[in-house]
Structure 1
Amino acid sequence: MLINYEFNEDKIQSPLQYTWSIFKRNNIAIAAMWVAIILVMIVIFAGYILPNTPTTQVKQLLLPPYWIDGGVSDHFLGTDDLGRDTLTRLIQGIQLTLGGALLLTLIVSILGTIIGATAALTKGLKASILHHFLDALLIIPTLLSALILIAIFGPSYENCLIAVSLSLLPQFIRAIYINIENELNKQYIIALRLDGAANIRLLRFGIFPNILESMVSLLNRIFSLAILEISTLGFLGFGTQFWDVELGALIASSIGLIFSSPWLVLFPGIAIFIIVLVFNVFTEGLRHAVIEGEDE
């Protein structure tokens, strides 16, 4: 039977659908996305998948991983010098490190976007004071800022997250400020202003869609710095305390056993490497999809 398609209309994709259609052509980025989703699921459901509790001790000390001679299946990645399960502590370390980085990236992005956009759209004395204040804060390296704040608040996991977020916030505000400031002088923004568009409409329909690629790169940079700073503070002893486990703290607690049981240092280090690599590959693929979508 003949079917007449003469009056069928082509379906026009939304910008989000079009960007996804470009992104899914990149097999490496898709694989990175699925690994990132698995890591996020580990963060959310870590309490349900832990083989043991992080504080449980057994009599078998410094067991090697299961695939090495002397390893046992009950402790797939072995045990540490106190008989605690390495896999359990590694999963909790991923939860605290990755979960903390995702949380503070979300907080920094929301606060930074609000403050940066407000500063860019504000003129006069208030904008000038904020502009120079941010310039002064950016002189101090982010890790040094975090260490200073930790010294004020005291070492703990919560204070570590607060210190890292406060140290990264000026970077995000400044980047958003510069991106919006550059867009304000373009002709289509001037046309929207002449058309009577309010600042919210200006941001929603004029500015943010055109700085999306820059924002993806900025979020990736803030997230990567957050992972590294949380791990560094944990390694230095300014992060998690007592029985809390974080990847940097795991490396620090096992550094003396690097020659006798190198896997205790190797596994947390590999976890940090994989987290940063996977999210960088994913966001880079997303950034390229946004660029191609804007070009076409």
Structure 2
Amino acid sequence: MLINNGFNEDKIQSPLRYIWSIFKSKSIAVVAMWLVILLIFAAIFAPHFVPHSPLAQNSDKMLLPPYWVDGGDIDHILGTDDLGRDTLSRVFHGLQFTFGGAILITFIVAIIGMVIGASAALTKGIKASILHHLLDALLAIPSLLLALILITIFGPSYYNCLIAISLSLLPQFIRASYLAIEQELGKQYIIALQLDGATNLRLFRYGILPNILEPTITVINRLFTMAIIEIATLGFLGFGAQLPQTELGSLIASSMELIYLSPWLVIFPGLAIFLVIVIVNVFAEGLRHAVIEGEE
């Protein structure tokens, strides 16, 4: 895109600056971006700014409702559970386990999956063929079922849950990156780079990667959504975070018996999961549209 400065000189924006200029024109996406940054900040520094310890019990304040409901206490904005533990503090700590774990899984799977997928697409032979058929076999198994099988082998724990989910989602990202790169390899500008003697690394860095940003953002967004849902699901089923860890899925599971007496103990952790998924999806969708418009 051309920019005219005060001296009537034309400057060309870099692709990243051009994409950013498109993205920041979308107000909803920018708001979502700042909310994602706040979520990351909350996940990292949750223990330092929550009003109470998530494990501190108070027998005088058991099952308090939120402060805006009759009988609520401003000192416990979202109320307390059946042991008098502050719900707001427990939800923030749960966010650290659920949201933070999903980000970690997404980052690791995206890096490893892109390396393996690119290696398989840019090389031919028996190794690529074996990987191709192995991925087809693994993709026939639903990722949550595969995660359950793996967590049964590893044993229930939060970190084993993260490992199991990472391994269950890895084949999907490898397959998606493989197909995106393979589709680019048939285009004329890639063939021209190959004829010029470009190495596979240079071919991927300068020819393929800039042109697969849009499908990659879509896959990473889907990967994150599946990761956060599976962390919460395994926690709810008792295969993920174990007591006294306060993961959002396990918080919902531990409060199910009180759902009619204190429904907020289930509503607030579930609402936190829902809002995180919506915010990240709005941000990713805005970024994807900015990339598409920047390529036009």
TM-score (norm 1): 0.97
Partners of 2:238 and 2:56 lie apart in 1 by 22
Listed as ranges, the matches of 1:60-75 within 5 Å are 60-75=61-76
Q: For residue 53 of structure 1, what is the aligned residue in structure 2? A: 53
Partners of 2:152 and 2:218 lie apart in 1 by 31
Partners of 2:6 and 2:100 lie apart in 1 by 53
Superposition CA RMSD, Å: 1.0
Partners of 1:51 and 1:142 lie apart in 2 by 37
Q: For residue 180 of structure 2, what is the aligned residue in structure 1? A: 179
Q: 1:261 to 1:7 in 2, by over 3 A?
A: closer
Q: Deviations over 1:202-256 (max 9, x none)?
A: 0011001111000000100000000000000000000011100111101100011
Partners of 1:8 and 1:48 lie apart in 2 by 52
Q: For residue 24 of structure 1, what is the aligned residue in structure 2? A: 24
Partners of 2:42 and 2:217 lie apart in 1 by 23
Q: For residue 284 of structure 2, what is the aligned residue in structure 1? A: 283
| C-alpha deviation, 1:8, in angstroms | 3.9
Partners of 2:84 and 2:244 lie apart in 1 by 14
Q: In the alignment, residue 10 of structure 1 is paired with which amino acid?
A: D
Which runs of 5 or more residues in structure 1 are unaligned? none
Partners of 2:84 and 2:53 lie apart in 1 by 12
Q: For residue 147 of structure 2, what is the aligned residue in structure 1? A: 146
Which runs of 5 or more residues in structure 2 are unaligned? none
Q: For residue 38 of structure 1, what is the aligned residue in structure 2? A: 38
TM-score (norm 2): 0.97
- Moved beyond 6 Å, runs of 4+: none
Q: Say if 2:228 is the partner of 1:227.
A: yes
Aligned residues: 291
| C-alpha deviation, 1:7, in angstroms | 5.4
**Equivalent position SS for 2:62:** coil
**Equivalent position SS for 2:12:** coil
Q: For residue 242 of structure 1, what is the aligned residue in structure 2? A: 243
Partners of 1:24 and 1:41 lie apart in 2 by 21
Q: In the alignment, residue 276 of structure 1 is paired with which amino acid?
A: I
Q: 1:204 to 1:74 in 2, by over 3 A?
A: same
Q: 1:121 to 1:257 in 2, by over 3 A?
A: same
Partners of 1:258 and 1:11 lie apart in 2 by 61
